[in-house]
Structure 1
Amino acid sequence: MALQQIDPVSENDEMAECIDNCFEAAQACEWCATACIREGDEDMARCIELCRDVADTTTLHARMMARDSDYSSDLAETCAELCEACADECEQHDADHCQTCADVVRECAETCRDMASA
């Protein structure tokens, strides 16, 4: 049986896009945080912290949307705020991984904000 036949999210394009963006943001943030750690620059501490927070929060938000939780819209607002804070921080750094992460989490923030108001 195909997932689309049993998945209530598959009928909601906006939610499906947000789930995809959340998982992509988590991946970008994990990659960015790891790269920052490996660089060993103490100025990257805030970037690492925010990236790790976003990775955890976006993953949880995606899982809650997938199970159609009544609380996912509440988490969507927090997720959007964290993504925006992370993007603001990443944009301050010249590293390619930070710039890429900023772009990805900004897109995630937008779709999470849409889900919060849905």
Structure 2
Amino acid sequence: MAHEQYADLLKVLHECMTECNHCFDACLKEDDVKMMAECIRLDRECADICGYLEQAISRNSPFVGQLAQVCAQICEACGNECKKHDHEHCQRCAEACFKCAEACKNIA
């Protein structure tokens, strides 16, 4: 499949990557950074896999399905962690992660 056929997924991946990067940065500025450690770690993992899957789609990688499956798992883990925290940035991130996980599952 050409990357044009993944246009909606590319948009969702980019939004998730952006929210995770924002959450990562905002979590580092929280008073209790230690409490946010798992959130920060998963934000980084999620942003990285979303960015990588974006690139893989754009170059028509034969591994898009497998990468999408891994991306869905990481997005779900990040979303589950973020939703534990009341910070607005965490809640927005969780929403983006769950949306991205669902989109990835649809092509995995």
Q: Fold match, TM over 0.5?
A: yes
Give yes or no for the alignment of 1:36 onto 2:13: no
**Could you list the runs of 5+ residues in structure 1 that have no partner in the other structure?**
1-7
| Counterpart Cα distance in 2 of 1:88 and 1:64 | 25
The two structures, once aligned, show a CA RMSD in angstroms of 0.9
Q: 1:16 offset after TM fit, Å?
A: 1.1
Runs of 4+ in 1 over 3 A off after TM superposition: none
Q: Percent identity?
A: 38
| Counterpart Cα distance in 1 of 2:80 and 2:57 | 26
Q: Which residue of 2 aligns with 1:105?
A: 97
Give yes or no for the alignment of 1:23 onto 2:9: no
| Counterpart Cα distance in 2 of 1:78 and 1:9 | 19
| 1:68-83 alignment, distance < 5 Å | 68-83=60-75
TM-score of the aligned structures, taking structure 1 as reference length: 0.87
TM-score of the aligned structures, taking structure 2 as reference length: 0.94
Number of residue-to-residue matches in the alignment: 106
Q: Which residue of 1 aligns with 2:80?
A: 88
| Counterpart Cα distance in 2 of 1:60 and 1:40 | 31
Which secondary structure does the structure 2 equivalent of 1:78 belong to? helix
**Could you list the runs of 5+ residues in structure 2 that have no partner in the other structure?**
none
Which secondary structure does the structure 1 equivalent of 2:61 belong to? coil
| Counterpart Cα distance in 1 of 2:87 and 2:76 | 18
| Counterpart Cα distance in 2 of 1:55 and 1:100 | 14
Q: 1:72 offset after TM fit, Å?
A: 1.3
